[in-house]
Structure 1
Amino acid sequence: MHQIGYLSPTEAPALLPFTAINLAEGWSFKPVDDGEWASGWLPVKRIPSMVHQDLIDNQKLDDPFIGLNEIKAEWVAKKSWIYRLDLSVPAAGRHHNSRIVLAFDGLDTLADVRLDGEAVLKSDNMFRKYRVDVTAIVKKKSENHIFSLEVELDCAFLRAREIERAHPEHKWITFNGEPSRMALRKAQYHWGWDWGPRLIPCGIWRPVRLEIYSARIADVRVDIDISSDYNTASVRVSAEIESESELEIKFSVCRDGKTIASSVNEVKDGSSVTTFEIVQPALWMPAGYGSQNLYEIVAVLSYEGQKLCTDSKTIGIRRTELVQEPDAIGKSFYFRVNGIDVFCGGSCWIPADSFVTNITPEKYRAWIELMVLGNQKMIRVWGGGIYEDDAFYEACDELGVLVWQDFMFACGNYPCHPELLETIAAEAVCNVRRIRNHPSVVIFAGNNEDYQVQESNGLTYNFADKDEKNWLKSDFPARYIYEKLLPAVIASEAPTIAYHPGSPWGDGKVSFDPTVGDMHQWNVWHGTQEKYQIFDTLGGRFNSEFGMEAFPHLATIKAFVTDPKDLYPQSHVLDFHNKADGHERRIATYLIENVRPVPDLPGYIHLTQLIQAEALMFGYRGWRKQWGENRRCGGALLWQFNDCWPTTSWSICDYYLRRKPSYYALARVLAPIAVGVQRKHHDWSVSHARIPPVSEWELVAMW
């Protein structure tokens, strides 16, 4: 039950200050079809949450991360679920100028929302925010009325398959998960990936609020222009206002808790704009290149001296560039921050939990702190997960980690029927607006590997054809999303941040062209399974994915293995917790080629981790050396930094943040000054195990 008081109508001010009530507690849930459900309504500890976690909390589901429990949890994804909350609306809601809004920051995914049985919202996109004006519904009820808020979540698993069947004209092709996943705007890894389980959760996954106000600041945008000598910065601040009254807004620029500039403006036609000139700005720099200086932009909306609403944005003053210039090799691809070229050694990031509502701000910060301690400069938010929580980007801002942000499309040929394009456009605007002011965000990319799906399946792609209507009529319609819809959103909403149509993408050439764009190099492990000692010869201008699998630490394995008899390298349970195709043969191949295998589990774990550390080091060291060769290679992002459950994968830090040896190997090779010694690779399989008469060695110093 939620209730706050307010002045009586005769004492109330002309306009009502903004009030937000977090609807986090008091919820209950059950399946929609509860014919065999004897439990009735079950309590929810706290919203945000997901149904699997709520079932675990009520001892109705065994933890799917343990043993083979993932299989036992499949029934959850095949049902629809309903969440309910009883609430009262504060007396302030009766104010004659009040608006009453239900604000949903995230519903996963197909949700019908009802207030007192009246339909108020039908959502179809996990990645969007929704605001529902319920003023009329509330004000027609008595002051002490108790409202019933219901959120019914339809079964995404079954609905996605229905949509797939309804569009037989489209070629539903994917690399991971089942093709129907592309029918819904939902985290794609929920359908399972080659490193994660198939659980397909649902829930109220981001906060819900009841907002009461007469006026509100809907959005604050900050655009920064820095002089060529970095001595001055022009900071343009604009705000969108919801109000029917004549108001004023005060903008302030603050640093270290002190106001350094302010301006009072009128609100006209629902907006207000001002510009500040900052002399000798304290620049934001990546970790290792300088300080992460941050400023705060504060906006205060008022009416006749009465404060109505306050909003703020934390910003960094910096200029970032994606340098793509013709050179002797082809076209460069590297990042420049405040005039300084930065070799972007780092990692790719997947959601840190299958149930993302379990990731706390403290855990996000711990992950990013690990990156900084490991001398990593960039993290790539992969396109099959989520647009991350604000706490993720805030940690990157404060600690100086550059963010490569994919849009949420991964490993598939996505359909483009009009309804889907409409919600994708709204999703893009919503999320770009949310994260564009973070100084850590330096690039948006349209998708993950969708151009590789097009290439490997012979789908239509004529780079010279610039007629967008033809793209939508082709068997690769998603080109319209990546080369028309998304770049238009970036140009409008975040014009100073670079946009790249996909990862990888070769500027009209094939995605594996080493002379241009970025590259995913998977001919070590996947593909032709090359020897990792030649990693440096396989790279391109920017290597945004490459990797080698390794077992997690023994303590992590013991966390999900319940029977000690399963503690051996290829037990059923251990193989079940490795989703990579052919992993048994591939791990064995790289072991047998480089070390003398051992049968016991601790020794086997150590050897897989040793090979991973060696393989990734060969890639990083060779490509960092190429950075000094006229920027031949602009960066390398390993796959992957983290895990979403306890598993064997390509991660260098496992689900419990336990660091594998590769983490330390990469910290050494990415140190500000790194020295490496390397023997020239001799392929024994070609020379029939004959030892070369002379071994060549190379000593490399990198800075």
Structure 2
Amino acid sequence: MPAVAQRTPLELGWSFRSAQDGNEDWKPVARVPTVVHQDLVDNGVLSDPFRDLQEIDAEWVEERSWTYRTTFSSPKNAEGASVYLLFDGLDTFAKVQLNNAVILESNNMFLSHRVDITKIIKNENVLVIDFDSAMLRGRALKDEHPDHKFVLFNGEAGRLAVRKAQYHWGWDWGPKLMTAGPWRPVRLEVSWANISGAFVKYELSQDLKQAKGDISVDVEGEFDEIHVSVRFQDDVVFHKSKMAFEFCGAAASLGQKVIIPFIVNDINLWFPAGYGGQPLYNVDVYILKDGQTLDTWSRKTGFRRSELVQIADSHGQSFYFRINGIDVFCGGSCWIPADSLLPRITADKYRKWMELMVQGNQVMTRVWGGGIYEEDAFYDTCDELGILVWQDFMFACGNYPVWPSLMDSVREEAKQNVRRLRHHPSMVIFAGNNEDYQVQESENLEYSYEDKDPESWLKSTYPARYYYEHLLPQIISQESDGVAYWPGSPFSNGKPTPDPTVGDLHQWNVWHGMQRKYQTFNQLGGRFNSEFGMEAFPVLQTIEYFVTNPDELFPQSQTMDFHNKADGHERRIATYLVENFRPKEDLKSHIYLTQLCQSEALSYAYRGWRRQWGQERRCGGVLVWQLNDCWPGTSWSIVDYFLRKKPSFYTIARTLEPLAVAVEREHHDWSVCHARPAKTSSFAVWVASSKQMEFRVDVEIRYISVKTGSDIKSKILKSDVSIRANGTTEILSGNIDNVNEEPHVIAVRLLLDGACVSRSVDWPQPLKYLDFSERGIKVEFSDGLYRVTAEKPTKGLVLEESDDITLSDNCVDVVPGDEIIIQATGTGTVVSPPGYTYLGQPQCD
């Protein structure tokens, strides 16, 4: 009698060896999913490539082919059933044999496969997977297609011919580790009928209270009854069952599509974090035969209306997101794969990363196009926590070829992954690529925005346009619902990608490009700033992990440089440190200054661009490059590989508070005028709000001498100020007499019902000109709280953190008369008095 479909993971009992040496002993594999570097380390063949210069010692791995093998028994009680092997992901060129018969050949890491083995399965079975070298195959494919222009940023040209995570070829923030292996689960399925997928397509009523649409179910095999239900918590809000004859006139057969209309009233809407709740509905599908359940399909989803708003205005054309009728400022960060060895990323790690985003008041993440379509756990967590997802397709920094077999593979890749991700309410936009249009511009590849003939694009020197402006949007239209599509990041609707008036912008003229002063970030933004950043060293504990030789623990050591993959990083870090600070030679001081430099740079960016949100939605979002790391090293991340927060994490969190006060004086370029001070400079105070209602607040403005700690003029108190909902409210503007007024900070506090809910301190620039001696810092701890005070304005006070203690804030500016309270929570023992560092501290080690 038919029974419910069974899918059993084939996790254990695997072994592997180099395919080049048939006499080599098979080595054990701890579990599948896995990749070869992980197994070589586990077997003591390879040293940890994340430490010292040992990445170099792993180079031989990428030049070899590798074989994985396991055995399994024929499933019991499977009479009349079909048996399948399911491969969720094979990295990358794989030939699969079962009992010496080839059952699958794959060349795309991003594809899953379901192979019918009913006719060849035996009582005892041997499964073998051979993985070719992706690097060597990529080089060969490049040579086979000399007519294509293989131009790119990062890695080597052969990567463009291979559907594999592009960062594995090495990037400017990560190592070159060309993995191979069954990187996602391998499972054995026994089924009499199978639900291959379902699509919940709906529209919300005008009042957003009703969802009406269709649930489309794809079924393989014979069944006679189908049930579809939608549940919210314990309540069934929709249920329908149908007999097979109601929609096909007879028992369903292979390839049947069942479409069931549904209506759900009194919808609980899904919102991004900070804008409402994240209620999730369960959608359950069951197929039956003779009253016996044959298969089930269940997903969680949320109902929301998402819009990408692009309308003409006085600044050009807007680019921002509206969720359930609410305009959302998308402050957040870009996401890269959280490990070079992907199977090591657990669901728990994904949750910890995403929880950090919520702690940091971030509401959007951008899944970058040189990594992977992330695991289900990543998107599930974004749904649960209310994090909007910008999803790139997996193309990055190159001119991709379009020969027919590759195009077919890309088409299937897009279909599979869109179908896998489309039910997530967090998913609000798919983008065709990362920076490929910038490659087109830099290499002068043929591109005419006015030419709308896709066939002509295939014959140009930029054929990849066919993917981004024809194939991918076509698939989004067919396979997705309620999710925007954008050809690339950045993209500007026919204008050059640096155009700030339309589309999204990658602003790299700070750090890269012209290496502009970071104090000018607010002048450099566009309609949606989807990449920008500043490098910083990770925390000392992370450095001591990857630098095992004590003699290499200095800022410019070979090991330190090896763990920073950015071209010219020595010059760029030095430039920004020398321009703004007084560098010191010891490692601890250098770490601190790079981190403070990053914190300051990102503060100028987020603060200034969020202000523009209230100016006709001039800036719709700010996504720093980058949230995370794939290995321990120096990069643009604001949280390092071990989930240790850099000071900039806290700075961004403060600028993205629901009510955030800000103060900033106009930029005076001290380099251009040869350090001659401006006679006067203007400043402004404003409040940014993501609240959906007006607030009445008090705003306090003080002018405090950096040298003495005394107020140089009377405090200003703006009482009972009305703060505009979901926008920017200008509070005060004025001028500073730089001739007669001694150097001072402008310290601003936002008071709600008498309590301070936000602070901002503006400093004379550059900070290197200021005297920070004898600050009079006091840090006391009691009842789980650090209480921080200062006798004189103090810049960037950073409390030392541990992995088992979480701080509510850090990297704070402290002014006299304003006690800052930082809460410490966690399982560890809080150190009192704590170690801390601030700018100008006499000794950092």
TM-score, length-scaled by structure 2: 0.80
1:555 CA displacement: 0.3
What residue number does 2:831 align with?
none
Are residue 401 (structure 1) and residue 378 (structure 2) matched?
no
Alignment of 1:617-628 (within 5 A): 617-628=603-614
Which AA in structure 2 matches 1:492?
Answer: Q
Q: Secondary structure at the match of 2:103?
A: strand
Provide, for residues 285-305 of structure 1, a one-character-per-residue CA deviation record: whole Å limited to 9, x for no partner. 000000001000001111121
Which AA in structure 1 matches 2:342?
Answer: V
Alignment of 1:542-621 (within 5 A): 542-621=528-607
* Equivalent-residue separation in structure 2 for 1:74 and 1:686 (angstroms): 46
Aligned partner of 1:248 among 210, 222, 225: 225
* Equivalent-residue separation in structure 1 for 2:555 and 2:226 (angstroms): 64
Answer yes or no: is the 8 Å Cα contact 2:527–2:619 preserved in 1: yes
What residue number does 1:263 align with?
240
1:232 CA displacement: 1.2
Provide, for residues 568-615 of structure 1, a one-character-per-residue CA deviation record: whole Å limited to 9, x for no partner. 000000000000000000000000000100100000000000010110
Bigger CA drift: 462-471 or 386-395? 462-471
What residue number does 1:201 align with?
179
Are residue 135 (structure 1) and residue 118 (structure 2) matched?
yes
* Equivalent-residue separation in structure 1 for 2:142 and 2:440 (angstroms): 19
Are residue 674 (structure 1) and residue 651 (structure 2) matched?
no
1:257 CA displacement: 3.0
* Equivalent-residue separation in structure 2 for 1:292 and 1:348 (angstroms): 22
Answer yes or no: is the 8 Å Cα contact 1:519–1:539 preserved in 2: yes
Aligned partner of 1:298 among 280, 284, 302: 284
Bigger CA drift: 265-274 or 377-386? 265-274
Alignment of 1:441-452 (within 5 A): 441-452=427-438
Are residue 387 (structure 1) and residue 373 (structure 2) matched?
yes
* Equivalent-residue separation in structure 1 for 2:672 and 2:367 (angstroms): 40
Which AA in structure 2 matches 1:336?
Answer: R
Are residue 289 (structure 1) and residue 266 (structure 2) matched?
no
What residue number does 2:822 align with?
none
Answer yes or no: is the 8 Å Cα contact 1:220–1:313 preserved in 2: no
Which AA in structure 1 matches 2:623?
Answer: L
Alignment of 1:455-466 (within 5 A): 455-466=441-452
Answer yes or no: is the 8 Å Cα contact 2:193–2:223 preserved in 1: no
Are residue 632 (structure 1) and residue 632 (structure 2) matched?
no
- Relative contact order (C-alpha < 8 Å, sep 6+): which is higher? 1
Which AA in structure 2 matches 1:129?
Answer: S
* Equivalent-residue separation in structure 2 for 1:526 and 1:455 (angstroms): 17
* Equivalent-residue separation in structure 2 for 1:362 and 1:479 (angstroms): 38
1:278 CA displacement: 1.6
* Equivalent-residue separation in structure 2 for 1:246 and 1:254 (angstroms): 24
Aligned partner of 1:424 among 404, 410, 417: 410
Are residue 70 (structure 1) and residue 62 (structure 2) matched?
no
Answer yes or no: is the 8 Å Cα contact 2:627–2:638 preserved in 1: yes
Aligned partner of 1:378 among 364, 375, 378: 364
* Equivalent-residue separation in structure 1 for 2:319 and 2:399 (angstroms): 26
Answer yes or no: is the 8 Å Cα contact 2:3–2:292 preserved in 1: no
Q: Secondary structure at the match of 1:480?
A: helix
* Equivalent-residue separation in structure 1 for 2:34 and 2:414 (angstroms): 24
Answer yes or no: is the 8 Å Cα contact 1:92–1:212 preserved in 2: no
1:265 CA displacement: 1.8
Provide, for residues 439-459 of structure 1, a one-character-per-residue CA deviation record: whole Å limited to 9, x for no partner. 000000000000000001100
Which AA in structure 2 matches 1:74?
Answer: E
Provide, for residues 245-291 of structure 1, a one-character-per-residue CA deviation record: whole Å limited to 9, x for no partner. 24211001111133222100234351222222222100000000000
Which AA in structure 2 matches 1:486?
Answer: L
Aligned partner of 1:157 among 100, 112, 135: 135
Which AA in structure 2 matches 1:259?
Answer: V
Answer yes or no: is the 8 Å Cα contact 2:223–2:288 preserved in 1: no
* Equivalent-residue separation in structure 2 for 1:207 and 1:662 (angstroms): 37
Are residue 187 (structure 1) and residue 170 (structure 2) matched?
no
Aligned partner of 1:30 among 10, 17, 32: 17
Answer yes or no: is the 8 Å Cα contact 2:94–2:131 preserved in 1: yes
1:105 CA displacement: 0.3
1:235 CA displacement: 4.1
Which AA in structure 2 matches 1:65?
Answer: F
Are residue 239 (structure 1) and residue 217 (structure 2) matched?
yes
Aligned residues: 680
Q: Secondary structure at the match of 2:684?
A: strand
* Equivalent-residue separation in structure 2 for 1:257 and 1:385 (angstroms): 38
Considering only CA atoms, is the larger Rg found in Structure 1 or Structure 2?
2
* Equivalent-residue separation in structure 2 for 1:689 and 1:132 (angstroms): 70
Are residue 118 (structure 1) and residue 105 (structure 2) matched?
no
Give unpaired runs (5+ residues) of structure 1: 1-12
1:688 CA displacement: 1.3
* Equivalent-residue separation in structure 2 for 1:674 and 1:431 (angstroms): 38
Bigger CA drift: 443-452 or 461-470? 461-470
* Equivalent-residue separation in structure 1 for 2:375 and 2:440 (angstroms): 31
Which AA in structure 2 matches 1:102?
Answer: L
* Equivalent-residue separation in structure 1 for 2:657 and 2:561 (angstroms): 35
Provide, for residues 217-241 of structure 1, a one-character-per-residue CA deviation record: whole Å limited to 9, x for no partner. 1101111210111121114211100
1:16 CA displacement: 3.9
Are residue 99 (structure 1) and residue 85 (structure 2) matched?
no
What residue number does 1:3 align with?
none
What residue number does 1:21 align with?
8
Aligned partner of 1:53 among 15, 35, 38: 38
Which AA in structure 1 matches 2:137?
Answer: R
Alignment of 1:305-320 (within 5 A): 305-320=291-306
What residue number does 1:359 align with?
345
What residue number does 1:176 align with?
154
Answer yes or no: is the 8 Å Cα contact 1:16–1:215 preserved in 2: no
Q: Secondary structure at the match of 1:198?
A: coil
Aligned partner of 1:90 among 63, 75, 78: 75
Give unpaired runs (5+ residues) of structure 2: 690-845
RMSD (Å), alpha carbons = 0.9
Q: Secondary structure at the match of 1:696?
A: strand
What residue number does 1:10 align with?
none
Answer yes or no: is the 8 Å Cα contact 2:272–2:363 preserved in 1: yes
Answer yes or no: is the 8 Å Cα contact 2:310–2:319 preserved in 1: yes
Answer yes or no: is the 8 Å Cα contact 2:433–2:489 preserved in 1: yes
Which AA in structure 2 matches 1:507?
Answer: N
Answer yes or no: is the 8 Å Cα contact 1:320–1:337 preserved in 2: yes
* Equivalent-residue separation in structure 1 for 2:442 and 2:159 (angstroms): 20
Q: Secondary structure at the match of 1:427?
A: helix
Answer yes or no: is the 8 Å Cα contact 1:20–1:211 preserved in 2: yes
* Equivalent-residue separation in structure 1 for 2:75 and 2:155 (angstroms): 46
Higher helix share: 1
Q: Secondary structure at the match of 1:70?
A: helix
* Equivalent-residue separation in structure 2 for 1:16 and 1:463 (angstroms): 56
Q: Secondary structure at the match of 2:226?
A: strand
Q: Secondary structure at the match of 2:77?
A: helix
Provide, for residues 198-218 of structure 1, a one-character-per-residue CA deviation record: whole Å limited to 9, x for no partner. 011011011111101110111
Provide, for residues 613-661 of structure 1, a one-character-per-residue CA deviation record: whole Å limited to 9, x for no partner. 1101111111100000000110010000000000000000000000000
What residue number does 2:522 align with?
536
* Equivalent-residue separation in structure 2 for 1:261 and 1:496 (angstroms): 21
Identity %: 56
Answer yes or no: is the 8 Å Cα contact 1:446–1:502 preserved in 2: yes
Q: Secondary structure at the match of 2:501?
A: coil
* Equivalent-residue separation in structure 1 for 2:337 and 2:489 (angstroms): 18
Answer yes or no: is the 8 Å Cα contact 1:109–1:186 preserved in 2: yes
Q: Secondary structure at the match of 1:533?
A: helix
Answer yes or no: is the 8 Å Cα contact 1:164–1:183 preserved in 2: yes
What residue number does 1:513 align with?
499
TM-score, length-scaled by structure 1: 0.96
